[in-house]
Structures are given as structure tokens and as C-alpha cells.
Amino acid sequence: MIEESTEVVFNKRVAGNTFFMGYRSDPMANEAGPGQFVMMQVRSGIDPLLRRPFSILGVNGDVLLILYRVVGHGTAILSEKKPGDFVQVLGPLGKGFALPCEAVYPILVAGGMGIAPLIFLSLNLARKDQQFLAGYGISPEVVPLDQLGIRGLSPAIATEDGSQGHHGRVTELLESVLLSAKEKPPAIFTCGPLPMLKAVSRIALGQNIPCQVSLESNMACGVGACQGCAVKKAPDSIKPYAHVCRDGPVFDAKTLDWEVI
Ligand SMILES: Cc1cc2nc3c(=O)[nH]c(=O)nc-3n(C[C@H](O)[C@H](O)[C@H](O)COP(=O)(O)OP(=O)(O)OC[C@H]3O[C@@H](n4cnc5c(N)ncnc54)[C@H](O)[C@@H]3O)c2cc1C
Ligand code: FES
């Protein structure tokens, strides 16, 4: 884990309220893995007091990439950063995705900004036999991967309003992919809003399919010191709670108590 003041290389709007930022940190770029995140202090001083967590979308040389949606005070400040500005960043943090072996068929299921860590995972897998599904509410939320400079990834898209791709939820795409996945046993990797993660986990656990879930939660410290991100573990677990920041954000779906989360 590294903490440093990093230089913003670019920060641009790529869709609706969604921004794509790159900042320079050679040591973080060397350490980062898919599913890990960084805590970013969006400006110096005490407003806002807390750092904000963002998944790492990938690395390009010594530049770390993040994708974020402006939802409040912190992300609004972040969206005003210009190339040459500096931001204080702590990372890479947390436990990322465990990469699957060649014998399984990876299915990546993203919802909204959950696409960021799955892009990193998909690029890392670098396999032709992977399926990438991305769900959004409406088409202005759809992240155009060509604007991120990413080639060779073309997730199947679902929008709830039907304006792009499959009309409906990304879990419907998942169910149809699972029906046709026969050659290799599937393994699911997912990140997105909690209701989507619950639905994906229900499908996976119901069919005994391995499923790694990247959770989001409110985070104050990001390093296991404040207890702010505790989640309930499955009833048969030795420890009743896990910290999303330190034990996750990626968990085996069967180790969590989905009735309580
Ligand atoms: C491990 C992790 C990885 C994340 N990765 C990304 C990412 O790659 N891209 C991205 O855009 N966001 C990501 N988030 C969410 C991001 O941290 C929040 O959107 C951000 O902190 C909001 O800060 P803010 O000051 O703009 O909003 P605030 O002013 O703090 O809140 C504004 C509104 O946003 C809601 N909000 C705050 N945090 C979250 C959250 N975690 N999830 C959903 N709603 C929230 C609040 O409830 C409130 O309604 C991640 C969160 C975690 C825990
Ligand atoms: S954010 Fe402080 S313990 Fe996880």
C-alpha cells in the first residue's frame, strides 16, 4: 500500500455524469490488480474530510485509471481536476479477484460503475472464451469503451429502458448465457449495485456456480481501522463480520449472508 501525491494526467467526461481519470503513480501501477481500489482525497483540507473509494479500471504504463460517476460533493470536486493538478491517493487496497483457471468459462456481470473493475479483470484474463455482460438503467449511462481507449472488449449490454442492447436487466442476459454455457463449467465475477449483486448471487448459488462478488459500502478509512464497512458473513462462518475494505471488496458469494446485507 502506497500513499502519495499524484499528478492528474487526464480527467474527462465520457458519458452523462461519468468521468474517466488517469493519474501518475509508478509504484501503484506496479502493484495494482483487478478488483482492488484506491482511496482518493479529492482536495486538501477538511472539506470533504473523508477520502472516497474508487475501483482501479486498469493501468497504462505508470498511469492508474479510474472511472467515476458524479453523485455528490466529493465526486463533483474530483470532476473539476485538470491535468497537472495533484491528488493524494492511498492504494492499491483490498483483496481483488482470484483469476480463474483455463478449465472454467468466466462470465463477468457488471452493473453501472461496477464495470470499472471488470474491465481490469477482463483485460487481465485476455481470453477469447469469456463473456462480459454490462447492465445500465438508461443509455446515457452506458460507458463507451472506445472513449476509454480500450479495444477488443465489447460487453453485451442491457438497459432497463430498452434504449440500447437487451431491454431489461443484466441478470436476464446472465440467465440466457448460463442456459447456453455447456463446454466448460461457468464461474461468475460481478460488481454493481447491491440489488443486482443479490440477484446475481441468488442465481449463482442456486445453480452451484462459483461467484466472486465485489461489494461497495460506505468507507471512512479504507484500511480496516474504523469498522465502518462491516458486512455480515454467512451463518456458518467462524467470524460473524468481514470488512469490505480489508477482507474484500471481492468476496466468494457463498461466504456472505445475503439475507442481511
Ligand atoms: C470499494 C469501492 C469501489 C468503488 N468504486 C467506484 C468506481 O469505480 N466508480 C464510482 O463512480 N464509484 C465507486 N464507488 C462509489 C464511490 O466511492 C462513491 O460514489 C463516492 O464515494 C461518492 O462520493 P461523493 O462525495 O460524490 O458522494 P456523497 O456526497 O458522499 O454522497 C452522495 C450520494 O451518493 C451516495 N453514495 C455515496 N457512496 C456511495 C456508494 N459507495 N455507492 C452508491 N452510492 C453512494 C450517497 O448515499 C448519497 O446519496 C466505490 C465504492 C467502494 C466502496
Ligand atoms: S473503511 Fe474503515 S474498516 Fe473498512
Residue 17: CB within 6 Å of ligand 1? no
Among protein residues, the one with the nearest Cα to ligand 1's atom 5 is 54
Whole-angstrom distance, CA of residue 192 vs CA of residue 200: 10
| Element at 226 (helix H, strand E) | none
Domains, the chain, in order of start with CATH, read: 2-93 (2.40.30.10), 105-214 (3.40.50.80)
pLDDT tens figures, 4-14: 999 999 999 99
pLDDT tens figures, 63-109: 999 999 999 999 999 999 999 999 999 999 999 999 999 999 999 99
Residue 71: CB within 6 Å of ligand 1? yes
| CA of 74 relative to ligand 1 center, distance in Å | 9
- Is residue 152 very low, low, confident or very high in pLDDT (cuts 50, 70, 90)? confident
Among protein residues, the one with the nearest Cα to ligand 1's atom 38 is 218
Residue 110: CB within 6 Å of ligand 1? no
Residue 241: CB within 6 Å of ligand 2? no
The pTM score is 0.96
Range list of β-strands (E), the chain: 2-15, 18-24, 37-41, 52-55, 58-60, 63-69, 86-93, 105-111, 131-136, 156-159, 166-167, 186-191, 211-214, 230-232, 241-243, 250-252
| CA of 176 relative to ligand 1 center, distance in Å | 31
Residue 118: CB within 6 Å of ligand 1? no
pLDDT tens figures, 213-255: 999 999 999 999 998 999 999 999 999 999 999 999 999 999 9
Residue 68: CB within 6 Å of ligand 1? yes
Whole-angstrom distance, CA of residue 231 vs CA of residue 69: 24
